Structures are given as C-alpha cells and as structure tokens.
Amino acid sequence: MVFTLPQLHDFIIAISLHGAARSHINPVGDYCPGRGGFQGRTCNFRGESPMDEMLGFVPSVHRWTSPRPLLGSTGRDARPLRGDLVPGTRARMMLDDHVAVSEKPDTLVRSGQPGSMQVRFEEMIRNAQDSICAGIERVDGGASFHEDAWVRESGGGGISRVLQDGNVFEKAGVNVSVVYGTMPPEAVKAASARGVTRDVGYAPGEKVPFFACGISSVMHPRNPMAPTVHFNYRFFETDRGLWWFGGGTDLTPSYLFEEDAKHFHSVYKSTCDRHDLTYYPKFKAWCDDYFLIPHRQERRGIGGIFFDDLNDREQDKIFAFSSDCCNSFLDAYVPIIERRKNMSFNDEQKAWQQLRRGRYVEFNLVYDRGTVFGLKTGGRIESILMSLPLTARWEYDQHPAPGSPEEELLSVVKEPRNWLG
C-alpha cells in the first residue's frame, strides 16, 4: 500500500497531536485503528488493547511517497488545512506560505545583527549541512542530494537536501530551517523538555513570539547490518529574550555490533568531555529516556546523546558545545557505515530491518517533540516527514527466536547498556 502525503498527514494528526484520546479529523474523516482506515465517525486510541491488535489494521509493508510538486499544486497539499484535533480545539496548518525559490538566500535570518547568536547559529548549521552532505555523498558513491529551498512571508525559510535510492542509502536527508512565528501554548510545551516553562511573562493562552533555527538529519541505509542515524541541533529564542539550545545524535541499528556502539559513544563522550565532564553521562541517560517508545517499552535504538533547554551558562559556551557535537557527526558515523555497507544479508534479515523501521515510525509520529512542534507551527510537511524511511513493516505478534541476533538487539533496546564501561 502506498500512502500519499495528505493521507499520512491525517494519520499523523490523528495519533501524534491527539495522543491516546479521541480524534476528529476534517475534511477527510477519522483514522480509526481497527476499522481499516479513515472513517466518518469518532474512534478511540486509548491503548486498551495489545499493541499488535491496535496496529492490526496496518498493512504489512508501507512505502511513503510525496506527490510533487508540493508547492503550487492544485491539490490538497497546496491549501491551508484545518482540523478539529481534540474536541474544542482547532489547529490550522498553513502549507501555502512556503514559497519555493530557485536560489537559496545568503541568509534566512531577517534583519540579523552581525555577530548575533541567530546569525552565528544559522551560519554554523549551513556549513555543517554542506560538509555532511559532501561526506555522505562520498560514502554512497552514486546518488547526490536533491536540494529544495524556500522562504516564508513571515521571515525565515529552509533548505532541504534529500538523497534517495542511492547505492548505500535508501534515503538520507539533511535539513536546515529558520522559523519566525508565534507558538500556541501546546506548541510551547512541545518545544520544551521536562515541563520547563518558556512562556513566563505571557498571559494564560497568549501566543509566544519566537525564533527557531536548527539542523536535522536522518539516514536510512539499504543494508540491514548498517545502522540508521539521526541528529538535530537547534537554538530557540523568544521575543522577550528567553533562549535555549537543544540537540543530540543517536544510533538505531537493526543488528548489534558492539564495536560500532563503542565507537559511536566514544566519539560523543570525547566531544562532551571537551566542554564538561558531566555532559556525557547526563546526556547519554537523557537520550535513553527520550527515545523510549512507551507502548512498546523499547528504546528506538542504542542511544547517543540528547539535551534540551540548555541555558545554564554563557551562550558562547553552549554554542561552542552544540557546534562541536554537530561537527563530530561524520567521525562518529562514517567509520561504522563503511564497515557495514557491503556486508551480506538475506531476506529474513531485511524483513527484520523493516520491522525495526516500523518502531522508528511509531516513535517519530507519536512521541517526537520535533514532529509535533513542526506540525503545530505550520512547518513544511515534506521537511518534517523527511525522517521517515522509504519502507517499513508491521507483522502481527512477531517475536524473534530465542538466542538469535534479533533477540540480542531487542534486549539492548529494552535495557540500555553502558557501552564505555
């Protein structure tokens, strides 16, 4: 089965923005687990049934595609979308204020003061996008990144680069974006960690004007022995001067190689240690906690580092740390992908990779704060959903054989390890 973008958009709203309650989606209808798709009536998604029963309606294999062009089309994608997400709540997704441009601007920051953190962070992530894309193209040895650039009437914009159907990577994306807007209260919560309040000084329900700038990447290799990887680094600032940094990099293998896990974690421990010896143990534990899939009681992968709402010292120091983490990516990942990209595998191992990608999709669409934030602030849907693999698989009541490599991976995502002793 192929999901078009409008259908997937409704699916995300139904389970991501609503969570575990009722969903009312207009104009298409409700996406009802157990009823085989979109329905005209309300349905429940309460977690009362075993997960395999709740996802029993999902076809065994999904392939996500996006009709092109997204912008300027006469279809649903080009129009403002409105949906009753929760009884009494309205959300408006504006997709038509993203204006495609043939040449990317020198800067996406509006009226940026030279030397300001907004300007410096954008410069850092754009340089990182260039170097990382060049490094990944060398690894792939076949496909190149396709680039889309856009701007928004309210200011800001973005540059998306996606490599698809390559020699090594089925799909790899590296996006940068600069966003100006106002956050409704629910988006403020989605953008903040562990209940940290970022709307101090605003009246109850008052929207918070903000600036956000970030780089985000997900890479899905073809070979099931080669791990998926994700990173994101971002800077937020409100119009009243509140600011914070967030980010992290994490690894999601389908098959466990301790050599790879130790290498990946050692690179980020060394990076953290250059700035604060407490960072790695704290941010490694935070990563394990953040990427938990509660309804599975599994982590998405074997972790890495994750931090958010970081503003406990001078901006320059946290900026230097974020930059160092971002620029450590190739050192952490390329040696692993080079070791694994040409390993032999069979159909059963490929099917296991597809099942683990299903877990990846579940986390991203249901729990990931970045996805929720992007959807609630009218982000560009193509860029938000760049993280999804081309294909994923769900099987009913699937369990790996005792003592198998698949069971070993499952044990690690259920009980995180200390990879560095």
Catalytically active residues, by annotation: 230
Read off the DSSP letter of residue 105: -
Cα→Cα distances 24→48, 135, 363, Å: 19, 44, 22
Cα distance between residue 177 and residue 370, in whole Å: 12
Determine contact, residues 336/137, Cβ cutoff 8 Å.
no
Cβ atoms < 10 Å from Cβ of 384 = 22
Lookup: tokens for 123: 């410069």
DSSP secondary structure string for all residues of 141-169: SS---EEEEEEETTSEEEEEEEEES-SSE
Cα distance between residue 302 and residue 308, in whole Å: 19
Determine contact, residues 207/184, Cβ cutoff 8 Å.
yes
Alpha helices (runs of H) in 194-298, residue ranges in sequence order:
258-273, 279-290
Cα distance between residue 301 and residue 319, in whole Å: 27
Bridge partners of residue 230, in order along the sequence: 218, 250
Exposure string over 75-109, b if 16+ CB within 10 A, otherwise e: ebbeeebebebbeeeebebbbeebeeeeebeeebb
Rounded to the nearest 10 degrees, what angle do helices 117-140 and 329-340 cross at? 20
Cα distance between residue 72 and residue 363, in whole Å: 31
Cα→Cα distances 223→152, 249, 268, 341, 346, Å: 38, 20, 24, 6, 10
Cα distance between residue 35 and residue 41, in whole Å: 11
Determine contact, residues 342/223, Cβ cutoff 8 Å.
yes
Burial of 348 from C-beta contacts in 10 A (0-12 / 13-18 / 19+): exposed
Maximum CA extent, the chain: 60
